[in-house]
Every structure is written in structure tokens, then in C-alpha cells.
Amino acid sequence: MIEYNKTKWVDGNTPIDAEKLNNIETGIEQISNLGIISKSVVGIEVTETIPEEPIDKYLYFILGNDGQLKNIMYGSVIIS
């Protein structure tokens, strides 16, 4: 089993920085290397707005104007 150190996100309190984004990327890479999501997620995008026409099988990290994580989407579904 691969160990993953989850970040505790607190609205308006937890800054979005390279360390936290790299932690997410590392977790996704580890899962991808196992072949679990390689067919499920075909792209990752960090954006400040919810896409008008989200791409199927894309994972979106939506940031507020302050750089804080607001939502996570998979395709057109908001999951957080």
C-alpha cells in the first residue's frame, strides 16, 4: 500500500502553494503508476473559473481570486 499524506484544507486558511499541489500530483502519479486511474483521468487543470464546457475525464482544481482552493471537479461534476 502506498502511503499518502493528505492535506487538511480549510477554506480561507490553507494557502495553495507548490508544496501542496506537488503533494496532489505525487498522489495522482502514484495511483496512475498502479494503473487505477490511467483510463479515468486524462488531464489535470488548475483554473480560477469553472469551465463553461468541461472536458470529460479531466480533473479540475478551481481556485478563488485569493488563490485558495474553492472546488474540485471531475468532468462536469463538482466533487468538492
The string of pLDDT tens digits covering residues 26-53 is 877 777 676 655 567 788 899 999 999 9
Evaluate whether residue 30 is within a structural domain.
yes
Task: Give residue 78's pLDDT band: very low, low, confident or very high (50, 70, 90).
Answer: confident
Note whether residue 9 is domain-resident: no
Give the per-residue pLDDT at 71. 87
pTM: 0.54
Q: For the ranges 12-16, 40-44, 46-50, 63-67, which has the lowest average pLDDT?
A: 40-44
Residue 31 lies in a domain: yes
Domain coverage including residue 40: 18-78
Residue 10 lies in a domain: no
Residue 5 within a domain: no
22 part of a folded domain: yes
Q: What are phi and psi of 38, to 5 degrees?
A: -60, -30
Query: 3-state DSSP helix/strand/coil percent for the chain, to nearest 5?
Result: 20, 25, 55
In a domain, 7, yes or no: no
In total, how many domains does the chain have?
Answer: 1
Instruction: Decide if 11 is inside a domain.
Output: no
| Three-state DSSP state, 58 | strand
